[in-house]
Amino acid sequence: MRLKFLPSFVKRRGRITKRQEKGLKLLNKYSISSVNDIKNESMKFKQCCLEIGFGNAEHLIYQATENYETLFIGSEVYMSGIGSLLSYLDENSISNVRVFPDDIRMLLDQDIIEIFDSIKILCPDPWPKDKHHKRRLINVGFLQMLNDFLKSNGSLYISTDWENYAESIKDTISRSEYFVSSNESYMNEKQLTKFEKRGIDQGRKIFEFNLKKKI
């Protein structure tokens, strides 16, 4: 069978801990499966933000606990990360997070609704080998999808610790013509994610793209 999208991730197996397993049992309670689900849920909140590839969910949890009036949608395919997040939400009675447990492009391939105030992608898989560059998530088609689902004046934040990916993202943004640079910065040194920390520990710099949807 031909896949509609080239996989942008490696499905990490990893051991699922008891806590993660417990969290995964709550998937029905916290998951959304369509843009219409998000539309319905978001009516109870002032804003709606999307984080794509939340990994271990450090940033998503931090944002959700700091902003109770915002609905956060997290997308991830890594089951251990989803399980940990769901356990945390349940243990701490956090009610402003929903999860799309699949390739985000399956969600954004539906009928377009300008629904997100902001979208964040922290350290997308870098696919450093030349022959794998085609698997990188950030390409012109994907930026068009993000643009379609962002509200007017919505913001897009992307970070990467790979210089070569940063160059490619910069080039993709300028070719796409959907976004302009913004002065806002979302980077919070105290709340680095696992992959941001790893990049810095291995001597790499974090490249950031703070963008606004073109009006």
Ligand X SMILES: C[S@@+](CC[C@H](N)C(=O)[O-])C[C@H]1O[C@@H](n2cnc3c(N)ncnc32)[C@H](O)[C@@H]1O
Q: How far apart are CA 54 and CA 59, in angstroms?
A: 7
Minimum distance between the CB of residue 215 and ligand X, rounded to whole angstroms?
27
Q: x/- site string to ligand X, residues 26 to 55, per CB under 6 A?
A: --------------------------xxxx
Q: According to the binding rule CB under 6 A, does residue 142 interact with ligand X?
A: no
Residue 193 near ligand X by CB under 6 A: yes
CA angle 180/196/20 to nearest 5° reads 115
Closer to ligand X by Cβ: residue 162 or 179:
162
Pattern 148-187, ligand X, x by CB under 6 A = ----------------------------------------
Question: Beta-carbon neighbour count of residue 213 at 10 Å?
Answer: 22
Residue 163: other Cβ atoms inside 10 A = 12
Q: Give me the torsion for CA of 169, 126, 27, 157, rounded to 10°.
A: -30
* Strand ranges across the sheet with 116-122: 97-100, 70-75, 47-52, 116-122, 150-160, 207-213, 179-181
Q: How far is the CB of 9 from ligand X (least distance, A)?
A: 3
- Length of the chain equals 215
Is 206 a binder of ligand X (CB under 6 A)?
A: no
Residue 125 is a catalytic residue: yes
Given the residues 37, 111, 117, 125, select the one marked as catalytic. 125
125 binds ligand X (CB under 6 A): yes
In the complex, the smallest distance separating the C-beta of residue 66 from ligand X, rounded to whole angstroms, is 17
Minimum separation from the CB atom of position 197 to ligand X (A): 8
Question: What is the rounded CA–CA span in Å between residue 99 and residue 116?
Answer: 14
Q: Using the structure block, give the residue that is written with the tokens 């210089």.
A: 163
Tokens of 200: 């810095």
Q: Which residue, 9 or 45, is less far from ligand X as judged by CB?
A: 9
The answer to the question of residue 194 lying near ligand X (CB under 6 A) is: yes
Smallest gap from residue 92 Cβ to ligand X (A):
20
* Spatial CA neighbour of 58 closest among 191, 161, 206, 168: 191
Q: Which of 30, 103, 116, 166 binds ligand X (CB under 6 A)?
A: 103
By the criterion CB under 6 A, which residues form the site for ligand X? 8-9, 52-55, 75-78, 103-105, 122-125, 137, 193-196
Residues taking part in catalysis:
125
